[in-house]
Every structure is written in C-alpha cells, then in structure tokens.
C-alpha cells in the first residue's frame, strides 16, 4: 500500500504525476543541472494557480543500505525542506522551499522530490575562486560572504556535512548574493564543538596550500578571520588537523581503489 505526503501550494494532477517521473522532468526541463543519482532541473510549472520557473530536485539512491533503512528515516526531500527552513531562520540564504513530496510503499521510500524557487543565473563559488583571472578583491568578497553564512549556520548549531565550494551558488549579477544548497545531509545538534565546526569547514578546500605554509593572500586564513576573528588561532589549529584527516582519508580511498 502506497502512502504519500505533500506540503506546498496546489499543483495540478498532471504536474504532480510528472514530477515523480525523472524521465518526464528531463524531457520537459528548460535546463538539467544533474541527472544521477538525483535529477536537478529548471522547469516552468503551474504552482499555486500561477506559472513560474522553479528548481525541482527528484532524489535517487546511492546505495542499497539507504533503501533498507528508509522506513526509519525522513526522506531526503523532507530533510532538505526542514534544513532550508532552519537555515532561513538563522539568516543563511538558501533557495526558498516551495513544496515537498514523499511517497512510501510498505514504509520504504520510493519517490521524493523538493521544489524550490529559481534564483536566476549563477556560478558555483568553485568556478570563481579557482579562476586565476578573477581579481583577488572579488575572491575575498565571496569568501567573506561564505564565512558569514557558515558562521551563522554554526551559531545555530547546524552542521552541513558537505560544505564544498560547489554548494555555494553565486548570482551572476551580484557576487555578494550567495546561496547554500545541497542540504539533505544537514544536521541540527544541541551544540557544536570546535572540531566539528572545522571538520565541516575543511571540505570547502579554499586554498591549495592546505595551511601547510604561510603565504600572501591565503583564502583559508582570510576565511577564518571573517568567520570568527577572536578565535582565529584555536580554529586554525583545529582546521589544519581536519584538513590532514581529509587528506589521509582520500589517500586511503585511492589505495583501496587501486587494489580493487
């Protein structure tokens, strides 16, 4: 027996059924940003009795373990919905969530999608910060905004778990307007330790120096100053340790892949 849950404004049966079908989304999308395991696309839909451009994220599965455990879990669409509201309450810009849908069969999640506002044309922070042509002033402006967003998130005891530069979207017409995305792993805790905060931040991978050497215009050091200047030294030590752990995990993974 199937059980469905939908939160959001009215949507026609035609669009409702279309959005649970990844093939339909890809066929009718104005633009497809991702295809596997999640489909992320720009569509024009009639939502709340008016047509508008929206982003639809139809979630897929990365492994069988998640499917087996799904009866005891919120869907990833629901997790993203909840996380979006927590972040907005904390003053962290994210695309406004419009609707969320989850379908279960015998308790197992079989379909789930999230609809959010379309923020317009954007680039990832990675594309800008890794571009050698972009002026340092622009890179520092973006880094400063990212640090402010992460600081607010951590102050609200929220941890993202996937803070890569690719998950910060920078508006093309305003580099100070940045949105945080990919929120289905975000977690809310009663408190966050310094090591947890820096482990979250370490994944941003801002500078190739990895804090192993001091040099001019290091975006890591600039980020930490903007994030929490009074605690710079303590955070610096914890971040360097977190970066080393990430490097070690990456090396172990590479060795396993070669042996496999």
Is 80 exceeded by the pLDDT of residue 250?
Answer: no
Q: For the residues 54-79, what does the mean pLDDT come to?
A: 92
The total number of structural domains in the chain stands at: 2
Residues 6 or more apart whose CB falls under 8 angstroms from that of 253 comprise none
Q: Contact 145/178 with Cβ under 8 angstroms?
A: yes
Do 188 and 127 sit in the same domain of this protein? yes
Q: What is the pLDDT of residues 199-217, one digit of tens each?
A: 999 999 999 898 988 899 9
Q: What pLDDT was estimated at residue 64?
A: 86
Whether residue 2 is predicted with pLDDT greater than 80 in this model: the reply is: no
Cα–Cα nearest to 178, from 208, 141, 205 = 141
pLDDT of residue 49: 85
* d(C-alpha 250, C-alpha 253), whole Å: 5
Would strands 31-34 and 39-47 be described as parallel, antiparallel, or unpaired?
A: antiparallel
Q: Do 191 and 253 have their domain in common?
A: yes
Same domain (yes/no): 243, 147:
yes
Of 117, 143, 160, the one marking the end of a domain is 117
The residues near 13 (Cβ < 8 Å, ≥ 6 apart) are none
Whether residues 87 and 71 fall in one domain: yes
Read off the pLDDT band of 260 (50, 70, 90): low
User: How remote is the C-alpha of 92 from its chain's centroid?
Assistant: 12
Give residue-wise pLDDT tens across range 12-22. Answer: 999 999 999 99
CATH of the domain at 109: 3.30.200
| Judgement on whether residues 138 and 57 belong to the same structural domain of the protein | no
Same domain, 130 and 248: yes
Average pLDDT, the chain: 94
Residues 23 and 97 grouped into a single domain: yes
One domain for residues 6 and 109: yes
* Measured distance CA(165)–CA(160) in Å, rounded: 13
State the pLDDT at residue 85: 98
pLDDT digits (tens, 9 = 90+) for 109-167: 999 999 999 999 999 999 999 999 999 999 999 999 999 999 999 999 999 999 999 99
pTM of the model: 0.93
pLDDT (average), residues 56-71: 90
Confidence at residue 235, expressed as pLDDT on a 0 to 100 scale: 98
Instruction: Give CA–CA dist 21/60, Å, rounded.
Output: 11
Q: What is the DSSP string of 149-203?
A: HHHHHHHTTEE-S---GGGEEEETTEEEEEEE---TT-EE-S---HHHHHHHHHT
Looking at the structure, tell me whether residues 31 and 132 fall in a common domain. no
Joined tokens for residue 96: 């406004």
Cβ-count burial of 236 within 10 angstroms (0-12 exposed, 13-18 middle, 19+ buried)?
middle
- Place 1 in a pLDDT band, splitting at 50, 70 and 90: low
Q: Give residue 62's pLDDT.
A: 83
Q: What is the pLDDT of residue 186?
A: 98
Report d(CA 63, CA 46) in Å as an integer. Answer: 33
Query: pLDDT digits over 70-124, tens only?
Result: 989 999 999 999 999 999 999 999 999 999 999 999 999 999 999 999 999 999 9
| pLDDT for res 11 | 92
Domain range holding 53?
Answer: 2-117
The pLDDT, as a whole number, for residue 67 is: 85
| Percentage of the residues of the chain whose pLDDT score is greater than 90 | 85
Are 98 and 193 found together in one domain?
A: no
Predicted pLDDT at 247: 85
For the segment 56-80, the average pLDDT, to the nearest whole number, is 92
């Amino acid at each position: 027996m199937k059980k469905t849950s939908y939160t959001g404004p009215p949507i026609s049966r035609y669009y409702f059924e279309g959005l649970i079908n990844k093939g339909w989304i890809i066929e009718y999308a104005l633009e497809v940003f991702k295809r596997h395991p999640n489909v992320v696309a720009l569509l024009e839909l009639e939502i709340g009795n008016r047509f508008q451009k929206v982003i639809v994220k139809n979630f897929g599965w990365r492994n069988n373990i998640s499917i087996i455990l799904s009866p005891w879990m919120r869907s990833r669409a629901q997790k993203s919905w909840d996380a979006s509201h927590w972040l907005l309450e904390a003053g962290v810009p994210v695309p406004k969530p419009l609707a969320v849908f989850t379908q279960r069969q015998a308790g197992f999640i079989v379909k789930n999608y999230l609809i959010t506002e379309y923020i317009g044309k954007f680039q990832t922070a990675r594309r800008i910060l890794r571009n050698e042509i972009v002026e340092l002033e622009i890179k520092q402006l973006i880094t400063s905004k990212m640090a402010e967003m992460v600081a607010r998130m951590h102050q609200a005891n929220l941890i993202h778990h996937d803070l890569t530069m690719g998950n910060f979207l920078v508006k093309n017409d305003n580099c100070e307007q940045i949105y945080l995305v990919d929120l289905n792993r975000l977690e809310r805790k009663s408190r966050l330790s310094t090591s947890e905060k820096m482990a979250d931040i370490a994944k941003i991978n801002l500078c190739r120096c990895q804090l192993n050497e001091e040099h001019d215009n290091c975006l890591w050091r600039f980020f930490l100053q903007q994030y929490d200047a009074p605690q710079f030294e303590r955070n610096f030590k914890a971040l360097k340790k977190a970066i080393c752990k990430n490097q070690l995990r990456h090396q172990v993974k590479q060795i396993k892949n070669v042996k496999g």
